[in-house]
Amino acid sequence: MRPVAARLSRIAAGAGKRLGRLWRDRRGVGAVEFALLAPVLLMLYICAFELTVGLSVAKRATRATGTIADLVAQQNGKVTKAFLATMVDVADSIFVPFSSSSLTLKISGITIDASNAAKISWSWQKGGTRPYVVGASVIVPSEMQKPSTFLVRAELSVPHDLMMFMANAFSMSTTQITIKREYFFRQRVGDSISCTDC
């Protein structure tokens, strides 16, 4: 029995020495740390990139909406459907290099009467249809609501796909958000702007 106990004692001592050496050995620690951190860093990089692209699209949506409202407000007294249809090209050129094929664009003329009631005078949307009923009430920003004035409103919305990692499952998914912008501009020339065929 004693030789077996001595042999087990030697095996245990050898295993203890090997475990001690393994515990003190620091080779490969960097590789293990990198293997643990690499997926998290990759996730953060992709999310930051996607958010940056999303912010760039949002900036272009803001610029396009303001530019369109400004261009329509500069017209001398009247506009037509043909002129308003060119505003889609304006938006497309501002959105380059991003796709704007699925954007929605609405342009409205709003009359504020002497009693300070804002109503749709005319409206047009991409595709040539009328999105709002003539005479429908409109909510206008308080700083622009002045009696007997005319406003041009441009509304633009564009869907954008964001590739995001889900925080709880570490899986990738695509989330679609809709970026919407709305601008009001006063007419620059005359008292109002009419749309002859809207």
pLDDT digits (tens, 9 = 90+) for 181-196: 999 999 988 889 999 8
Per-residue model confidence as pLDDT tens digits over 122-179: 999 998 899 999 999 999 999 998 999 999 999 999 998 877 655 555 555 667 889 9
Task: Give the pairing of strands 194-195 and 78-79.
Answer: parallel
What's residue 177's pLDDT? Answer: 87
Tokens linked to 72: 């329509």
Distance CA 129, CA 123 (A): 8
Query: What's the predicted TM-score (pTM) here?
Result: 0.75
Task: Give the amino acid at 31.
Answer: A
